[in-house]
Amino acid sequence: METYLGIDVGSVTTKLAVLDGNDELVTYIYLPTQGKPIEMVQQCLKQIKPQLPEDVNIRGVATTGSARYLAGVIVGADLVKNEITSHAVATLQYVPQVQTIIEIGGQDSKIIIVRDGVVTDFGMNTVCAAGTGSFLDHQALRLNMSIEEFARRALDSNTPVRIAGRCTVFAESDMVHKQQMGHRIEDIIYGLCQALVRNYLNNVGLGKEIKPPIVFQGGVAFNQGIVKALQEELGTEVIVLPHHEVMGAIGAALLVHEGMAGSNNGSQFKGFGVSEVKYHTSSFECKACPNHCEIAQLSVGGQALARWGGRCDLWEGSPTS
């Protein structure tokens, strides 16, 4: 059985998706990264192997996400792609007419504008938590409830209160003020959902032509309160696909399938045995120019496997020592 493996390592979650030769999803894994991308990639490989047939042949592997270079070195990736391309390719596979892709993750969010099957514009938010899932997680924790209960109770709101959502600090103080005024928790929660959506559209979506069909993906798409708030704010249907949380990994697998098509070369995949290897990460400052870039290094047994992270390509793909 020939398959293609996509790995999406984000700051909050790590996702693996395996597609067959017909680009059908065979299986996937979705685990929290917990600040340990190497260990979580290894854990995902360990967990996904028993879900695959004995005779499985991994014909290609691609990595994406914020730790894509690190993951690529560990597994022996045939392709390393950015999140914008991966998410766009996956969405187009399921909704070919898509014109706007909204992706909200735990630590960042992005918008991708697609016209006639081609990405024409995009925007990202990586500096403000108020338009991301961590904003909701933090407020749910403050209210002493799970994020699942938070999402469920948001839908019970009839008269949501307006929460200042430009900043997590302001939102929290405004939320406390509204509680002291005696507003229902459900109305405050849905007000927070609306605040996140406003922040997203006024920040990431600013100046973007948001046209339907609109597809919403990422871990935050599990939250029906956010889905409802998005639909109200945009005045149109927002599509949430069945495997919205692993679309980056699916897109990476689709891209490597396309890249390996017609090639007689085998995959560089190092095999599932890499889940047992002890890796060491370190960094050093490059003094080759005034930029003084911080260079990341991955080693095994004292031998450097790869280095990356500079503004130029001095260390990218350089001979290891």
Q: What CA–CA distances, in Å, run from 316 to 40, 255, 306, 311?
A: 24, 22, 8, 10
Give CATH for domain 100-239.
3.30.420.40
- pTM for the model: 0.85
Q: What CA–CA distances, in Å, run from 204 to 26, 110, 111, 135, 167?
A: 33, 6, 7, 15, 14
Q: In degrees rounded to 5, what are phi and psi of residue 91?
A: -65, -40
Pick the CATH number of 2-94+248-275 from 3.40.50.720, 3.30.420.40, 3.40.50.150, 3.30.450.40: 3.30.420.40
Per DSSP, what are the bridge partners of residue 280? 299
pLDDT digits (tens), the chain, 321 positions: 889 999 999 888 899 999 999 999 999 999 988 888 888 999 999 999 999 988 889 999 999 988 888 888 889 999 999 999 999 999 999 999 999 999 988 777 899 999 999 999 998 876 665 567 777 888 888 888 888 898 899 999 888 888 876 666 677 788 788 888 888 889 988 998 888 888 888 888 889 999 999 999 988 898 999 999 999 999 999 999 999 999 999 999 999 999 888 777 788 898 888 888 888 888 888 888 888 888 888 888 777 877 777 777 777 654 444
Domain ranges of the chain: 2-94+248-275, 100-239, 278-321
Angle at CA of residue 87, ends 83 and 89, nearest 5°: 120
- Helix ranges restricted to H, 1-121: 37-48, 68-75, 83-94
Three-state secondary structure call for residue 203: helix
Same fold, 2-94+248-275 and 100-239: yes
Q: How many Å apart are CA 138 and CA 159, to the nearest integer? A: 23
